[in-house]
Amino acid sequence: MNLSTDYHDIQEGGRIILLYSGGTDSSLILYELTKRFPNLLIHTVSLNPPFLHEIKYESELKARRTFIKYLLDQEYPIRHQEISIRHNLIPEMEPYRGDARIFNVEFGGCPQAVYWLSTLLIYLKSGDHLYYGLLGIDDNTWCVPYYIEGMKYFLKTLDRKDISLHVPLIYRSKDYVIQKLFEYDIYDYTWHCETPYEENVPCLECKPCMDHLKALAGMAEFHEDIEIQKKARELVDKAKFVIAKRSAE
């Protein structure tokens, strides 16, 4: 298991697989992969854990479908897979649905990332290139060495060799990601909110929303490109209006 902070070379061979959520980071990686390898098949995989916020799931799913259609219309060879695990109760357990002792996920310790990486391992083949949209500001960046170490043991039992985990955004900022999305004109195909109130309506309160707004505010004030500055300011003003309206209610 190898760790890379960049994209791989075409001469290396192997399948290209992207953990794709529909968020800003993985969407940027997907677009840059299509530009680097326009004629190579790119596998995008969405792993949806049962503990994922339901409205977030619907919002991300819409972003994924819309962006993949956009890329397919441009004839990029993409093959997308949705993998889901759900918690189901048999009728005999319905009376206990609200029981706090129900067998469920213990939050903390980045369960979503652990779920993604451990589940995806069984689908990998020797020589694969696995891409993961991890930013330096993300809460679980410090866990990367542990992810790698754990994946090594699992891959050993599966007899998978020469697999590389690529995190090309790990030294990049949210400002960089949003700027690139603006430049490529694909920002509107992405999603970023962790706890939306309703489908496609960001809460503007969660950490991803706050990180996003801080990046936009900085770009609205200081970005050298006038068009990007204007786009960022429009989004910040829209968010301010929504926040003010909610406060008044």
Per-domain residue ranges of the chain: 2-248
Q: How far is 57 from 174, CA to CA, in rounded Å?
A: 21
Greater confidence (108 vs 160) lies with 160
**Is 70 exceeded by the pLDDT of residue 22?**
yes
Residue 51 near residue 195 (C-beta atoms within 8 A): no
- pLDDT (tens digit per residue) in 232-242: 999 999 999 99
pLDDT at 214: 92
pLDDT at 24: 95
Query: Can you give the pTM of this predicted structure?
Result: 0.90
- pLDDT (tens digit per residue) in 104-151: 777 655 777 888 888 888 999 999 999 999 887 777 777 778 888 888
**Is 60 exceeded by the pLDDT of residue 63?**
yes
Q: What is the mean pLDDT of residues 212-239?
A: 92
Dihedral sign from CA coordinates of 180, 186, 187, 190: negative
- Taking residue 75's Cβ as centre, other Cβ atoms within 10 Å add up to 9
- pLDDT (tens digit per residue) in 25-54: 999 999 999 999 999 999 999 988 877 788
Q: What is the mean pLDDT of residues 168-186?
A: 93
**CATH 3.40.1500.10 assigned to 2-248:** no
pLDDT at 112: 78
Q: What is the mean pLDDT of residues 81-95?
A: 86
Strand-strand pairing, 164-166 and 129-131: parallel
Three-class SS state of 7:
coil
